[in-house]
Structure 1
Amino acid sequence: MRLTLLVFDEVFDTGMTVLLDTFATANELAAAQGFDAPPFEVTLVGPRKRIRTALGLSVSVEPLSAVRRPDWVIVPALNAKQSERLAQTLQRPDIRNALPQLQTWHAAGIHVAAACIGTFVLAESGILNGAEATTTWSLAPFFRQRYPTVKLDDSRMIVESGRIVTAGAAMGHLDLALWLVRHATPELAALVARFMLIDKRSSQAHYIIPDYLAHADPLISKFERWARDNLSNGFSLTDAAKALAVHSRTLQRRTEAVLGKSPLEFFQDLRIERARQLVSEGCDLETIASEVGYADSATLRTLLRRKLGHGVRELRAEML
């Protein structure tokens, strides 16, 4: 499988190297297993002959014009973790000049993938329009505002949509690399996962920090503060809108536009975050249920299992 990594100045070092290390490990293990040839041929390409990573390392790359037809083009993350800086970075000439090549590759039937902030480069090229995708959860509100035609689900770690695959935040590069190895040979992927201690993570939901996302919008930030003050009272959209001096439909639309979820779903996220905190402090389940607005612990158990995939016992074990 021929893999082309499209890299730019200030590429996120870990993202680029974890891809390279995973494919190199897969090739080494394949040789030990008696494969006739390495399953992965990896080439670094870019708009310049050399790029400088975010940590200042100088890396030589092949020019875009010299690339043999790859099976996959992969875009690692850029090191721009704040929306304002990312917006500026995406306007750089080296990135803008590479977008037509991404469009050409995709139009030619070549598979395209990206992880973390690299997904923004795909979206800038337009090839994600109308497609399903994920991205780094921390910039999901900015992604939704900038690319409203993309069907974003930032709770998922890996999203496959036709010939495009996107992966989630930072170490999502590792999940993407293993997905690609598995796509080539599942047996080898299982071996790589064991050697590199890669756990299967189908969701980013456990890692999302709700109040971080809320700060992306003034109204949502106010709603987040109201919700935290009213966790023990339960949720009422009417009461929330009245407290914020907006119409309930305005709050509903704004929450869905910024967070990709309803006000109630965001309130539930805050309940879970608070419940996890109280579990870590050793509180009993009835006390936790009361703190997050439930009359009985059974309802809380149901919420935790639906949102986290496990109950309080497993949650306590995680925190030991």
Structure 2
Amino acid sequence: MLHFELALAYEVFSAAPDTVTVPWYDLTVCGPAAVRVGRFRLEPDAGLDRLRDADTVIVPGWADVDREPPAELVDAVRAAHDAGARVASLCTGVFVLAAAGLLDGARATTHWAHTAELARRHPRVDVDADVLYVDNGRVLTSAGKAAALDLCLHLVRLDHGSSIANVVARRLVVPPHRAGGQSQFVTAPVPARDDHPLLALFPWVLERLDQPLTVEDLARRVRMSSRNLGRHFHAATGTTPLQWLLTQRIRRAQELLEKTDDSVDAIAVATGMGTATTLRRHFNRTVGVPPGTYRRTFRARSSSSRRQVSAAGSGRQVSRSSAK
């Protein structure tokens, strides 16, 4: 078992932040027996058969990637998926999903150090070594360590919306959103040094999302050429200034749809999209649904019942949690 990924999942799904009042996840750690993780002993809450009751099953990590995961673990994950659960792997937990056949013909990722082995052992899986996580709907996979946290926050965002995911991120003191398609090899999701030339640019932009900002405006703000800005931006965020700006506008639109009764026209103006038509086009392409559908979905979810989450693993290696 990779206890770092297990701890990440537990931290995100076990308890809601103090300011969050919506029904939260009901987390259960599942496994056939107690397991020792380094110097720690982990006692599961329930057996692997509990996974079939979960809304989401999360496989945090498989430590011994040179060996096939136990059949009882693979069978339990497959049965949970067949019963309708959403299944997500963190880091090398992807080997369990692949063994269960859940990734055949689908795109998936894992820590870059293990992508070649995953592709060799499971040739029917479309392995993408250069992304943080992949969302295939009911099956999701992530790269390692920090990317595992990105996927956990992505699940919260899917279930509860951007504003609540941002609250969780603030509690964990991490960036609220990194797109799954971002490269694993980005040097930092946000500038890490106090003297980074873009350090003051990000909050400056976020305070002016209602304005028609251009790349030239951003470059002028930090006193550099547009080309130089692009190089610094890609090194810091893994994307271009325009794509980052569009992502921030969409995230702001999500928050306003979740928290206000403002019209789509008003939100388009507040996010710098200009018109409702432009907002709908970009929102639908990025989020997958129109703004009105998104608003109705998260208004309904805010009053929905508590979601069943389970975490499980074999007696030796893996843990998982389930959430929906």
Shorter chain as normaliser: what TM range? 0.5 to 0.7
> Residue 81 of structure 2 aligns with which residue?
106
8 Å CA contact retained: 1:138, 1:208: no
> Residue 183 of structure 2 aligns with which residue?
205
8 Å CA contact retained: 2:182, 2:239: no
The change in CA–CA distance for 1:208 and 1:190 in structure 2 (over 3 A counts) is: closer
Cα separation, 2, equivalents of 1:197 and 1:109: 33
Shift of 1:68: 5.9
8 Å CA contact retained: 1:304, 1:310: no
* 1:122 aligned counterpart, secondary structure: helix
Cα separation, 2, equivalents of 1:104 and 1:174: 25
Question: Which of the pair has more CA radius of gyration?
Answer: 1
> Residue 75 of structure 1 aligns with which residue?
59
The change in CA–CA distance for 1:309 and 1:171 in structure 2 (over 3 A counts) is: closer
Deviation digits for residues 101-131 of structure 1 (CA, Å, limit 9, x no counterpart): 2221222221110010001111111111011
Aligned residues: 199
Cα separation, 2, equivalents of 1:75 and 1:162: 16
> Residue 160 of structure 2 aligns with which residue?
185
Shift of 1:140: 1.0
Normalising by structure 1, we get a TM-score of: 0.55
Does 1:173 pair with 2:148? yes
Cα separation, 2, equivalents of 1:102 and 1:67: 7
> Residue 309 of structure 1 aligns with which residue?
239
Does 1:16 pair with 2:15? no
> Residue 43 of structure 1 aligns with which residue?
28
8 Å CA contact retained: 1:154, 1:204: no
Cα separation, 1, equivalents of 2:184 and 2:77: 32
The aligned amino acid for 1:205 is S
Cα separation, 2, equivalents of 1:130 and 1:170: 25
Higher helix share: 1
Higher relative contact order (CA 8 A, sep 6+): 2
Cα separation, 1, equivalents of 2:166 and 2:233: 27
Q: Please show how residues 203-242 of structure 1 align to structure 2 within 5 Å.
A: 203=181, 205=183, 207=185
Aligned match of 1:87 in 31, 43, 66?
66
Deviation digits for residues 197-253 of structure 1 (CA, Å, limit 9, x no counterpart): 2223335635289xxxxxxxxxxxxxxxxxxxxxxxxxxxxxxxxxxxxxxxxxxxx
4+ aligned runs moved over 3 Å, structure 1: 32-35, 298-308
Shift of 1:33: 3.8
The aligned amino acid for 2:239 is G
The change in CA–CA distance for 1:105 and 1:66 in structure 2 (over 3 A counts) is: closer
* 2:17 aligned counterpart, secondary structure: helix
> Residue 56 of structure 1 aligns with which residue?
39
